[in-house]
Amino acid sequence: MKSLIGLCLLSIAFQTNFSMAKEFEWSGYKWRTRPTSNRTMGPGSNLWSDADENIFIDEKGDLHLKITQNAEGKWVCAEVAMVESLTYGTYEFELSSRYDKLAKNTVVGLFTYISPDSVAKQIGRNVGDEKPDTPHEIDIEMTGSWGDANLFFTTHDPDVQSPSQNFYEPLTGDHTTHRFTWRPEEIVWSSYHGHVAGQADPPNPIIEQRSNDNHGKPAVARYVGPVIPQDLNERVLVNFWIFNEKLPDPAPSDGKEQELVVHSFHFTPLSE
DSSP state of 119: H
**Burial per residue of 134-160, b for 16 or more beta-carbon CB atoms within 10 angstroms, e otherwise:** bbbbbbbbbbbbeeebbbbbbbbbbbb
189 in Cβ contact with 112 (< 8 Å): no
pLDDT at 115: 95
DSSP string covering 34-63? PPPEEEEETTTTEEE--STTTEEE-TTS-E
Kind of pairing between the strands at 75-82 and 46-48 = parallel
Please report, in angstroms and rounded to a whole number, the separation of the first and last CA atoms in the chain.
35
pLDDT at residue 21, as a whole number: 84
pTM for the complete prediction? 0.93
Question: What is the identity of the amino acid at 76?
Answer: V
- For residue 21, the SS3 value is strand
Mean pLDDT of successive 10-residue segments in the chain (272 residues)? 48 39 96 93 93 97 98 96 98 98 97 96 94 96 96 97 96 97 98 97 97 96 97 98 82 96 98 72
| pLDDT (0 to 100) of residue 240 | 98
- Give, in order, the Cα–Cα distances in Å from 126 to each of 121, 130, 131, 160, 234: 8, 9, 9, 13, 18
